[in-house]
């Protein structure tokens, strides 16, 4: 199977490409290497994929912005992918408040280009990244995929909900199978420098204060990267099984669009998260307690029963193990 992965130099994209190559898939990666965070880290991920792991010509990396419809179309025509996994997006809730145009270009125009390329090139299945932020101001917990998501608290969240609506429409009109994954606070080695684990670890090692918003009472379903990758791989395998079944006329009339929560079912307070990092680093942090920031959600916890039923798996990595793995990588990478 030929798989196109956008955002291949990103945190999740890198880990996914690594796993898919180990399973024998032919992978074409797309990334624009933007400077939202350290481009050197993105290049290091690609170098790790290209030079240290696989020498079987099963990986092709293309530097292209998904907002560039012409460039993206050429990659689709060249590869003729069976499946597309779209992880490319402008990330960050707080950054979206200051730089809304970045999110329009990447998350809306770029995603529309992905959908169009899938339609024009006969792609059978598009799996794409959504976000837990779509639940916005919802008070009910845990979040269920059937809950209303019409009160986004940031433009980032609004663009991710828009992606789900756009994907549904393309499934309805053009019979493209689409699957959205609402990720919940993914962490682990090679993670993003703007995420809490990275920021806290760096600050603690440098002896600087760490900022705890909502006075440390933020609640998150911290989800280890290996669990996320396992879920995606199982969605791919599930697609292969489903595609071998014969479609009835009734099946063809059903809109084949699914949404799944992808996250840990265990909620953790931010202050507890910090304590686990302190334990791993053997450092006592200097804490600065701050109020809840604009656009942030105080608590996110997913109901993952639908995902578990569909693929027979749900995230389960203990927080302490995941943090230790990150700290070990961080110390090695930054010497």
Tokens of 225: 């990267």
Radius of gyration of the chain (CA): 19
Given 156, 187, 273, 330, the catalytic residue: 156
d(CA 288, CA 152): 28
| Per-residue three-class SS string for 75-108 | HHHHHCCCEEEECCCCCCHHHHHHCHHHHHHHHH
What are the angstrom distances between the C-alpha of 62 and each of 51, 108, 176?
A: 16, 21, 24
- The position carrying tokens 């912005």 is 65
Lookup: tokens for 5: 């992965």
54 labelled catalytic: no
- CB 333, CB 286: distance < 8 Å: no
Q: Decide: 285 and 203 in contact? Cβ < 8 Å.
A: yes
Q: Starting at the edge strand that comes first in sequence, how are the strands of the sheet with 257-262 ordered?
A: 59-63, 26-31, 2-6, 83-86, 125-131, 177-183, 257-262
Tokens of 277: 């990092």
Residues belonging to the active site? 156
């Amino acid at each position: 199977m030929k798989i196109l992965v956008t955002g291949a130099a990103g945190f999740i994209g890198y880990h996914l490409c690594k796993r898919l190559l180990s399973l024998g898939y032919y992978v074409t990666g797309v990334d624009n290497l933007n400077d939202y965070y350290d481009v050197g880290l993105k290049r290091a991920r690609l170098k790790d994929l290209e030079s240290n792991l696989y020498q079987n010509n099963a990986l092709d990396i293309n530097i292209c912005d998904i907002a560039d419809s012409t460039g993206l179309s050429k990659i689709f025509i060249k590869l003729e992918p069976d499946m597309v996994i779209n992880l490319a997006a402008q990330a960050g809730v707080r950054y979206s408040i200051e730089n809304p145009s970045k999110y329009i270009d990447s998350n809306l125009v770029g995603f529309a280009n992905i959908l169009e390329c899938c339609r024009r090139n006969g792609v059978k299945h598009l799996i794409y990244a959504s976000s837990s932020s779509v639940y916005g101001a919802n008070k009910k917990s845990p979040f269920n995929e059937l809950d209303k998501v019409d009160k986004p608290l940031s433009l980032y969240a609004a663009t991710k909900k828009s992606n789900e609506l756009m994907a549904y429409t393309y499934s309805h009109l053009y019979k493209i199978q689409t699957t959205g994954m609402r990720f919940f606070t993914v962490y682990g080695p090679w993670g993003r420098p703007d995420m809490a684990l990275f920021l806290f670890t760096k600050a603690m090692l440098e002896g600087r204060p760490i900022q705890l918003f909502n006075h440390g009472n933020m609640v998150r379903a911290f989800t280890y990267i290996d669990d996320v990758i396992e879920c995606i791989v199982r969605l791919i395998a599930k697609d292969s099984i489903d595609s071998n079944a014969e479609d009835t006329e009734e099946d063809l009339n059903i809109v084949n669009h699914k949404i799944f929560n992808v996250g840990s079912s265990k909620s953790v307070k931010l202050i507890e998260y910090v304590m686990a990092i302190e334990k791993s680093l053997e450092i006592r942090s200097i804490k600065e307690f701050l109020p809840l920031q604009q656009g942030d959600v105080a608590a996110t916890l997913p109901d993952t029963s639908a995902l578990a039923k569909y693929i027979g798996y749900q995230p389960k990595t203990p927080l302490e193990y995941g943090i230790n793995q990150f700290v070990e990588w961080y110390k090695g990478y930054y010497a």
